[in-house]
Chains A and B, each alone.
Chain A
Amino acid sequence: MSQLFPKWANKIPLQLQIALAVKLIAIVFGVTYFFSPKFTDVGYAPEQVVPYSHRLHVGQLGIDCQYCHTTVKVSAKAAIPPTATCMNCHSQIKPDSPKLEKVRESWANDVPVEWTRVHMLPDYAMFNHSAHINVGVGCESCHGRVDRMEVVTQKQPLSMSWCIDCHRNPAPNLRPVSEVTTMGWTAPENPQAFGEKIIKAKNIHAPTYCNGCHY
């Protein structure tokens, strides 16, 4: 009887096993890396209907975050400002700028500007701005150097492990509450040691149990 299989067929089982193992590992690590928010979400910078520049308003003019995001200290949401906030200044300053066309339209018709949300959490994860601001987590810790952004860009992954990492060891991200809106703040000493003092003073217990955030 002639041979059913050529001689090279002897190598196939080994090759198959190696290929399978390599593929399996590649899939697991591929999903871990490419499907994670670190890869998919960081760098998200949608174009807004009004080309509002944080670099100009915060970086150069020095407006405090809370001038527009008024509710950040008292509520879960930081609040997107109403058109009226823009018009406080822009009824006087550059009232005819073509870049402000949409703002004037909104003002005249009493219809809000449709901003595109940049930082998005899933509905089952509850994030409260005031809880973080009032213990000294700076705006820039999560949102990055907004004072340098022409277009607001997501700088952090906002993934669960990213939240948990800080909740397990919040010290390096803490600062005096008076400094939360400061951009480019640095700790006067070792950030870990400085943060631990704040933890002690404010009796901070960042939750790591499920219904700390999922409720």
Chain B
Amino acid sequence: MSTYEYVPEQPLIKGKHNFSSITALVGDLVEKPAPAGWYIAFGIAVTLLAVLLGSIGYLVWEGTGIWGLNNPVGWGWAIVNFVWWVGIGHAGTLISAILFLFRQDWRTAINRFAEAMTIFAVICALVFPGIHVGRIWVAYWMFPLPNQMGMWPNFNSPLLWDVFAVGTYFTVSLLFWFVGLVPDFATLRDRVKSKVGRIVYGIFALGWRGGNRQWQNYEKAYMILAGLATPLVLSVHTIVSFDFAVSIVPGWHTTIFPPYFVAGAVFSGFAMVLTLMIIARKIYGLSDIMSDDHIEKMNIVLMTTGSMVGFAYIMEFFIAWYGAVEYERFAFINRAFGPYAWAYWTMMACNVFSPQFFWSKKLRRSVGFTFFISIVVNIGMWFERFVITVTSLANDYLPSAWDYYTPTLFDASTYIGTFGLFFTFFLLFLRFFPMVAIAEVKMIMPQADPHYYDKHDHAEVNEKQTV
């Protein structure tokens, strides 16, 4: 029988921190003036937001004809961008809900702003189904409301399931985020100097005093919401994938879509969290909380989900061959070698090959390299949705109906504009919200162990346990 040596886990918080220094580290970011870079970034974000609003305004005025949509490609960038943004949101929920249920303590460093990212990404995603309908003033037809037409939305349609799936997802994510924020808002309420700040944070702190009863209720509520959010991580992108999989278009009608979309969503979401985290921790000096260990763990997730996505790409090809349906075979050969081969191989390079670098421990601990790959992955995941949507529509059953899809300037300006929307929200969040879950980080510090201050050593504790 061999013996194993107990290797204590690396402390999650680097540096010599105690409770008050953590509070000060995060709280000061809100209380002290913002760095100059913040104002520059905010200016750019608001400018891009104006571009988005302008593009939407012109779309409403002129109609969806300003986009590159035409027969046979009736679904273009709008759905590509929608799926891409919703996918990005998934990492936040995975980190906050699933990793919470699995007691992955390292999540506490990043869950707050990963959840913020989720909410803002879902807002960006929701822009597209809202505006793509053309007659935007009847967008409320998506909801089952009583009306003079005596009509209900088509409950057979996955597009309607989407409305409910994403709507539920947004609501639960927002609630989850807010519940987690309550104790930290209370901390800020007690720290900020200005009267207005105290009142505003006080309103959102909901009268939190940090009493025993409150903590007990809080932790139960948080657990329940984590339980509610967990199935949503899997269900939302499953239903998004149904938008494609339930149809009979070759290349879309595949049962592998739900798991493959969920893996892709988590993949792109983690890449986005990494991108944001690496910038934020550098600018705000949070490397003690969001350490290189976190980057390494997230890179492992990236590598795993990237490989799952790669497996799905290859499996699609296998099934197309094995299924022996002529149209299906053509759809996939056309993807890899047809008019959109450039998009396909961009996707393969970014999503399947690039995460494989993380087999190397050195590379997955390299901040610069991780940052680079995180951006590459998100480019790749955008192209994945582009390849799925466009190649299948551009070349389907009838060769006489084939055409090449080209986006217009307004497709691009709307997409770029959503970054303005996202970063406007995100920068406001960084400025006014506690960007790290202060209370939760404290729970995972060594000082939070009830025996931390014991004079007695570990021997006695172990004896008691063996009785």
By a beta-carbon cutoff of 8 Å, the part of chain A in contact with chain B is: 4-5, 10, 13, 28-29, 31-32, 35-38, 157, 159-161, 164-165
Q: Is the CB of B146 within 8 A of A164?
A: no
From A4, A13, A28, A161, contact of B202 by CB (8 A): A4
Contacts known (A10-B207, A28-B145, A32-B145); A5 close to B202, Cβ less than 8 A? yes
3 nearest interchain CB pairs?
A161-B150, A160-B149, A36-B148
Q: Is the CB of A38 within 8 A of B148?
A: yes
From B147, B150, B151, B207, contact of A165 by CB (8 A): B150
From B148, B151, B198, B206, contact of A35 by CB (8 A): B148
Complex Cα gap A164–B150 (Å):
8
Q: How far is the CB of A160 from chain B (nearest CB, A)?
A: 4
Q: How far is the CB of B269 from chain A (nearest CB, A)?
A: 31
- Beyond A10-B207, A160-B148, list 16 extra A-B contacts (CB 8 Å): A4-B189, A4-B199, A5-B199, A5-B202, A5-B207, A28-B146, A32-B147, A32-B148, A36-B147, A37-B148, A160-B149, A160-B150, A161-B147, A161-B151, A164-B149, A164-B150
The dominant DSSP class at the B interface is: loop
Complex Cα gap A31–B149 (Å):
13
Residues on A with C-beta less than 8 A from B147 are 32, 36, 161
The dominant DSSP class at the A interface is: helix
Complex Cα gap A31–B145 (Å):
10
Q: How far is the CB of B63 from chain A (nearest CB, A)?
A: 15
Q: Is the CB of B149 within 8 A of A159?
A: yes
Q: Tell me the residues in window 193-220 of chain B with beta carbons closer than 8 Å to chain A beta carbons.
A: 198-199, 202, 206-207
Residues on A with C-beta less than 8 A from B198 are 4
Complex Cα gap A160–B206 (Å):
47
Residues on A with C-beta less than 8 A from B202 are 4-5
Q: How far is the CB of B126 from chain A (nearest CB, A)?
A: 19
Q: How far is the CB of A38 from chain B (nearest CB, A)?
A: 7
Q: Mark B322-347, 1 if CB is under 8 A from A, else 0.
A: 00000000000000000000000000
Residues on B with C-beta less than 8 A from A157 are 148
By a beta-carbon cutoff of 8 Å, the part of chain B in contact with chain A is: 145-151, 189, 198-199, 202, 206-207
Most buried by A among B145, B148, B149: B148
Residues on A with C-beta less than 8 A from B145 are 28, 31-32
Residues on A with C-beta less than 8 A from B150 are 159-161, 164-165
Q: How far is the CB of A43 from chain B (nearest CB, A)?
A: 16
Q: How far is the CB of B181 from chain A (nearest CB, A)?
A: 16
Contacts known (A4-B189, A4-B198, A32-B145); A13 close to B151, Cβ less than 8 A? no
Complex Cα gap A33–B147 (Å):
8
Complex Cα gap A31–B207 (Å):
37
Complex Cα gap A35–B202 (Å):
41
Q: How far is the CB of B101 from chain A (nearest CB, A)?
A: 29
Residues on B with C-beta less than 8 A from A35 are 148
24 A-B contacts (beta carbon < 8 Å): A4-B198, A4-B199, A4-B202, A5-B199, A5-B207, A10-B207, A29-B146, A32-B145, A32-B146, A32-B147, A35-B148, A36-B147, A36-B148, A38-B148, A159-B148, A159-B149, A159-B150, A160-B148, A160-B149, A160-B150, A160-B151, A161-B147, A161-B149, A165-B150
Complex Cα gap A4–B151 (Å):
50
Q: How far is the CB of A214 from chain B (nearest CB, A)?
A: 11
Complex Cα gap A111–B95 (Å):
76
Q: How far is the CB of B130 from chain A (nearest CB, A)?
A: 18
Residue of A nearest to B201 (CB): A4
Q: How far is the CB of B137 from chain A (nearest CB, A)?
A: 12
Residues on B with C-beta less than 8 A from A36 are 147-148
Residue of B nearest to A40 (CB): B148
Residues on A with C-beta less than 8 A from B207 are 5, 10
Complex Cα gap A5–B200 (Å):
11
Q: How far is the CB of A42 from chain B (nearest CB, A)?
A: 12
Q: How far is the CB of B83 from chain A (nearest CB, A)?
A: 27
Complex Cα gap A35–B150 (Å):
14
Residues on B with C-beta less than 8 A from A159 are 148-150
Complex Cα gap A13–B204 (Å):
11
Residues on A with C-beta less than 8 A from B206 are 13
Most buried by A among B147, B199, B202: B147
Residues on B with C-beta less than 8 A from A31 are 145
Residues on B with C-beta less than 8 A from A38 are 148
Residue of A nearest to B143 (CB): A28
Q: How far is the CB of A210 from chain B (nearest CB, A)?
A: 10
Residues on A with C-beta less than 8 A from B146 are 28-29, 32
Q: How far is the CB of B248 from chain A (nearest CB, A)?
A: 20
From A10, A28, A29, A161, contact of B148 by CB (8 A): A161
Complex Cα gap A36–B150 (Å):
11
Complex Cα gap A37–B147 (Å):
10
Q: How far is the CB of A17 from chain B (nearest CB, A)?
A: 13
Residues on B with C-beta less than 8 A from A10 are 207
Residues on A with C-beta less than 8 A from B199 are 4-5
Complex Cα gap A160–B141 (Å):
14
Residue of B nearest to A13 (CB): B206
Complex Cα gap A38–B147 (Å):
11
Residues on B with C-beta less than 8 A from A160 are 148-151
Residues on B with C-beta less than 8 A from A5 are 199, 202, 207
Q: How far is the CB of B146 from chain A (nearest CB, A)?
A: 5
Q: How far is the CB of B104 from chain A (nearest CB, A)?
A: 33
Residue of B nearest to A157 (CB): B148
